[in-house]
Structures are given as C-alpha cells and as structure tokens.
Amino acid sequence: MVVGNGAREARAAGQAIAFVPTMGFLHEGHASLLREGRRRGDILVLSIFVNPTQFGAGEDFESYPRNLEKDAEIAERAGVDVIFAPTAREMYPNGYQTYVNVDNLTLPLCGASRPGHFRGVTTVVAKLFNIVSPHSAFFGEKDYQQLAVIRRMVADLNMDVEITGMPIVREADGLAMSSRNAYLSPEERKSALCLCRSLAGASELYREGVFSVDVLREKVMEILRAESSASVEYVEFRHQHTLEEVDNASDETLLALAVKIGKTRLIDNTILGRGFPCSEKC
C-alpha cells in the first residue's frame, strides 16, 4: 500500500512515485499516461475516482461510465503498482469545506460553460497529491485547460511535484479517445468525427498561410455546421500558455472546441504550430 503513510515511507526510501489521476473507464489515452509514468517512476500509482465536486447539477455524474474490473486489467498490463479508488465519502467526509481555486485560467472555455468544474478538479487533485505524495504526475492534453490549471496550481502553491503533459491519443479515424465516447450511438459516433475534421481543416488553412482567427473560425464552424447532430458550445483561439484570446494565429495558438453530439458533450483541441496529426483520416 503506497498511499498515505506508505507513500511517505517510499519517498523516504528514495523511491520515485509516479502518479496518474483518472476517473476510470480506462482507454488507450489513459494507458499512454500510465506507460510514461511506468518509465519515470519506481512506483506507479493510478487513482480512479469519479469526483462529484467537478460535476455541475444536471451533468453526468450518476451516469458516468464505470468498470473497475476492466480498469484493473488495463492497469495491470500497464504495470501499475497501486490503484487508489476511494469512495466519495472517504474523500469528502461530513463537514468537508475546503476548496482550491485557480482564478483567471479557469474563467474561459470549459470554465465558462461548467461553473465550479475546475474548483472541483483542483481540489481533488490537490487532495490526491497530498495522499499519494508523487514526485511526478501525468495529465493528457486532451483536457488542455485542465493541464494548464494544474500547472498553475502546482506553481502557485509550491507543490513539490513535476507535471508532465501527454499528447492526445486518437482512435484510428481521428476521434479523440474519451470515456464519454461510450455514450455515442453508432450514428453519433460517425458525426463526432466533425470535431477532429474541423481541427484538421483549420490547421490546414493555417499551414497554407491563413492567420486571421475570424477566417479560421469560420472554417471550423462551416465543418461543424454541416453535421446536423452537432451543437457548438465554443470554438476558441487562445495562447497556449496564458489561454488569452488572440486575433491572429501563430504557432503558439491553441484551437479548442467543445461540441455536443446529441446529448454528449465532447472536447478536442490542437496547437496550430504542431500541424494536425490526422488530416487525411477524419
């Protein structure tokens, strides 16, 4: 057991603890984080916790997919040493009243459409860091804003943990892997490709020398509008570090999307300067 006291003993014995926090229902995206953690740590800890404080009223906390047995198999294959899967009552006992809040970075994008979401994320990650005492922790760029917010929290609160961001893992046809893809009907699964198709479309225009965000946004919207089951929550162009809005795109520009396919809210993003990995596929 490496959580709590065990973690402090392992640290004292000079063992490097690598940590991957998740909400479970693991897929290849999570596995890529685990593999990097395995490479970087002596002890690899995975947490599985569907964190109630990061879900808003009317969101999918109750229906969020769960499969601890399959998760344990994937974890074993990835070389996880310890799975920490607490209950909500263990994490938030009666009388709980302490929260961590990152200011400006949490205001736009998903923070605007999901009030309180990032407060829940930073609170639970801070708690998990205190329990697990990791030297390094691994987060996916799939949740780009979350990664930026965690980096800020760690710097601002002098937390002694090295944060590593990992690239988005995609299905063969380009759809970004997500536990929420399980909600999609076969028809919606096809429609969901409009997210990566629109990122690819804008990335291609950018590569051809189009830097006007208005023009690039129109390209994204044109592709998304063509999909009748898609409703756009946001299409935003922001600086990759500050998340401030930009008028002219550069290699540093993050293009981030949130789109509902039917009732399922999906997010995806790319950094324009990197080129989009799957422009032929989706």
Residues binding ligand AMP (CB under 6 A): 22-23, 29-30, 32-33, 139-140, 142-143, 166, 168-169, 176-179
* Least distance to ligand AMP, CB of residue 169, Å: 4
What are the residue ranges of helices labelled H in the chain? 5-12, 28-40, 68-77, 88-91, 109-113, 117-132, 144-156, 186-191, 193-207, 213-225
Which of 48, 216 has the CB closer to ligand AMP?
48
Are the C-beta atoms of residues 7 and 133 closer than 8 Å to each other? yes
Q: Considering 27, 30, 135, 239, which one is annotated as catalytic?
A: 30
Q: Minimum distance from CB of 227 to ligand AMP (Å)?
A: 20
3-state secondary structure of 245: strand
Tokens of 278: 């799957």
Catalytic site includes residue 30: yes
Nearest approach, Cβ of 130 to ligand AMP (angstroms)? 18
Cβ atoms 139, 166 nearer than 8 A: yes
Kindly tell me which of 147 and 194 has the beta carbon lying closer to ligand AMP.
147
The C-alpha angle with vertex 56 and arms to 52 and 62, in degrees rounded to 5, equals 50
**Residue 138 DSSP SS3:** strand
State in angstroms the smallest separation of the CB of 21 from ligand AMP.
6
CB of 83 to ligand AMP, least distance (A): 13
Nearest in space to 80 (alpha carbons), one of 12, 24, 131? 24
Max intra-chain CA distance, the chain = 58
Nearer to ligand AMP, 178 or 229 (CB): 178
Residue 253 β-bridge partners: 239
CB of residue 16 to ligand AMP, shortest distance in Å: 19
Identify which of residues 197 and 219 has a Cβ nearer to ligand AMP in the complex.
197
**Long-range contact list for 5-11, CB < 8 A, 24+ apart?**
7/45, 7/131, 7/132, 7/133, 7/134, 8/133, 10/42, 10/43, 10/133, 11/133, 11/135
Closest residue to ligand AMP, judged by C-beta, is 140
Write out the two tokens for 225: 């509008």
Question: Three-state DSSP class for 47?
Answer: strand
* Number of neighbouring beta carbons within 10 Å of residue 180: 17
Whichever of 114 and 219 has its CB closer to ligand AMP, that residue is: 114
Helices then strands, counting H and E runs in the chain, come out as 10, 8
Residues identified as active-site: 30
